[in-house]
Amino acid sequence: MEKMQQIVGRARAAFRSGRSRPLEFRIQQLKALERMVQEKEKEILAALKADLNKCGYNAYSHEILGVLGELALTMEKLPSWAAPQPVKKNLLTMRDEAYIGYEPLGVVLVIGAWNYPFVLVMQPLIGAIAAGNAVVVKPSEVSENTARLVAELLPQYLDKDLYPVVTGGVPETTELLTQRFDHILYTGNTAVGKIVMAAAAKHLTPVTLELGGKSPCYIDKDCDLAVACRRITWGKYMNCGQTCIAPDYILCDPSIQSKVVENIKATLKEFYGEDVKSSPDYERIINQRHFKRILGLMEGQKIAHGGETDEASCFIAPTILTDVSPESKVMEEEIFGPVLPIVPVKSVEEAIEFINGREKPLALYVFSNNKQLIKSVISETSSGGVTGNDVIMHFFLSTLPFGGVGHSGMGAYHGKHSFETFSHRRACLIKDLKMESTNKMR
């Protein structure tokens, strides 16, 4: 395995050559990525199946469709995003040219995660290429099939020096992080996020950290419970709960708790049939370590539904816990699994206080027919993003910046926000060498 210093050095030399800057080059690389996704669809889906037991349709709609959409959007909009932006001038600068220029940062590092291993490497890559940078891609070693595939495919379609793929685990990533980058986008957990930012601090490298947390889901008494529960069930159990913006836990009045359980149970049957384990649409936990971790979270809890597991296949059935105590283990860490605790609260005020007493989450969900209540919950809390009366969906609108706040992260991307994250906005003022008389005043 080539030394990190050489790989990054080559990427920097390639960036310095200037060839990643012309728009035509960037679009050509993006087109090549598009071809790659279209031509290698089978291989990509096979890797996702091997890593997460994700079925074809699911993998396609969650990982490939999004990537193709982002590519199409970026290729179309790039000329307008990259164009210098004239700004409002004052009296003194009336005759001058004043604008914001969008320039590449240099060499960007993208560190992917294992839960949506393809899209979480591709979407940042698309933005970084679009902004004219060289990009070092480090897919997660935990989703090893996808990592191997990305390492094989990218060099076949993209400029090898500008966009190298680095594989490996903690030691390789640690060594990579000693190198100097001009921006690092990391997707993963809070603990490692701190390590990445500390490493970046040594080089004064700006970072975008897409982390996680416990995304709360408040269900108001006044709402269509059947619809709410169907939507929540979809978002919670997709990818076997291994989604950074999955509704982590539910807050609701004790009087509707059993109805919530009934509705989710009914929906689960609708989605996965009587025998979840044999449904082709239900995924598995990524590995033994996480399997054991999630098992531990269920200990001592009141299981209202589910709870079945099979260690050999890393299967955990869709599970609901009721009357969960805020102090219990399952309420201490991000669950990242198909276990849904319900914490009873007596009022929306109590729910807001509960949410605000904890770290700021990546997403916040609130279900209610009362528009005013939804407004209050949003305005009195803080979170990366919000979807009201549904879950997950704000992720799919690329005009919304996608990112966290506090322990759930910093910075954002998707769509134009990716382009801006990976660009330097350079303030430019071009004056005339004449007109010196106005300067006499100073």
Partner 1 sequence: NPYAGLVSHLRASWLSGKTRPMEYRVAQLEALERFLDDKKQQIMDATASDLGKGPFETELSEILVCKNELHETLNNLSCWMKDEKVDRILAMQLDSAFIRKDPYGVVLIIAPWNYPIQLFLVPLIGAIAAGNCVIVKPSEVSKKTERLVAEALPSYLDKDCFAVVTGGVPETTRLLENKFDYIFFTGTPPVGRIVMTAAAKHLTPVTLELGGKNPCYVSDTCDVTNVARRVAWGRFFNAGQTCIAPDYLLCTLEMQEKLLPALREATNYFYGPNPRESPDFGRIVSDKQFQRLRALLGSGRVAIGGQTDEAERYIAPTVLVDVQPSDPVMQEEIFGPILPMLIITNMDEAIDFINSQERPLAVYAFSSDDKVVNQILERTSSGGFCGNDTLMHVTLPSLPFGGIGNSGLGTHHGKFSFDTFSHLRGCLKRGMGRESLNAPRYPPYSQRKLGLIQATLKVARKSDCTLL
Tell me, residue by residue from 340 to 359, as one string, x for binding to partner 1 by CB under 8 A and - for no binding. ----------------x---
The binder of partner 1 chosen from 367, 373, 421, 422 (CB under 8 A): 367
φ, ψ for residue 157 (rounded to 5)? -115, -25
The binder of partner 1 chosen from 73, 177, 240, 355 (CB under 8 A): 73
Q: Which of 121, 128, 171, 170 lies closest to 146 in space, CA to CA?
A: 121
Binders of partner 1 among residues 53 to 72 (CB under 8 A) are 55, 57-58, 60-61, 65, 68-70, 72
For tokens 């279900």, the residue is 367
φ, ψ for residue 264 (rounded to 5)? -65, -40
The binder of partner 1 chosen from 4, 128, 209, 264 (CB under 8 A): 209
What is the rounded end-to-end Cα distance, in angstroms, of the chain? 60
The nearer residue to partner 1, 193 or 337, going by C-beta atoms, is 193
244 catalytic per annotation: yes
Number of chain residues interacting with partner 1 (CB under 8 A): 102
The binder of partner 1 chosen from 2, 88, 275, 299 (CB under 8 A): 88
Phi-psi region of 279 (alpha: psi -120 to 50; beta: other; left: phi over 0): beta
379 binds partner 1, rule: CB under 8 A: yes
The nearer residue to partner 1, 151 or 400, going by C-beta atoms, is 400
**Residue 46 to residue 329: CA distance in whole angstroms:** 35
Greatest Cα pair distance in the chain: 85
Determine the interface stretch with partner 1 among 151-159, 164-172, 193-201, 320-328 (rule: CB under 8 A).
193-201
Determine the interface stretch with partner 1 among 3-11, 250-258, 302-310, 402-410 (rule: CB under 8 A).
402-410
Q: Which of 423, 391, 84 lies closest to 215 in space, CA to CA?
A: 391
Binders of partner 1 among residues 126 to 155 (CB under 8 A) are none
Write down the least CB distance from residue 271 to partner 1, Å. Answer: 4
210 catalytic per annotation: yes
The nearer residue to partner 1, 104 or 112, going by C-beta atoms, is 104
Q: Can you give 51-82 as a three-state secondary structure string? A: HHCCCHHHHHHHHHHHHHHHHHHHHHHHHHHH
230 binds partner 1, rule: CB under 8 A: yes
Question: What radius of gyration do the chain's Cα atoms show?
Answer: 24
| Residue 175 C-alpha from the chain's centroid | 24
Write down the least CB distance from residue 167 to partner 1, Å. Answer: 26
The binder of partner 1 chosen from 139, 410, 419, 421 (CB under 8 A): 410
Write down the least CB distance from residue 40 to partner 1, Å. Answer: 18
The nearer residue to partner 1, 234 or 287, going by C-beta atoms, is 234
390 binds partner 1, rule: CB under 8 A: yes
398 binds partner 1, rule: CB under 8 A: yes
426 binds partner 1, rule: CB under 8 A: yes
Catalytic option among 210, 240, 283, 334: 210
- Alpha-carbon distances of 273 from 35, 48, 267, 285, 305, rounded to whole Å: 37, 23, 9, 19, 15
409 binds partner 1, rule: CB under 8 A: yes
The nearer residue to partner 1, 135 or 412, going by C-beta atoms, is 412
- Name every residue whose Cβ is closer than 8 Å to that of residue 199 and which is 6 or more positions away in sequence: 177, 178
Binders of partner 1 among residues 232 to 291 (CB under 8 A) are 234, 270-273, 279-282
Binders of partner 1 among residues 294 to 333 (CB under 8 A) are none
The binder of partner 1 chosen from 13, 17, 39, 92 (CB under 8 A): 92
214 binds partner 1, rule: CB under 8 A: no
The binder of partner 1 chosen from 383, 418, 419, 422 (CB under 8 A): 383
**Residue 19 to residue 145: CA distance in whole angstroms:** 32
The residues annotated with a catalytic role in the active site are 210, 244
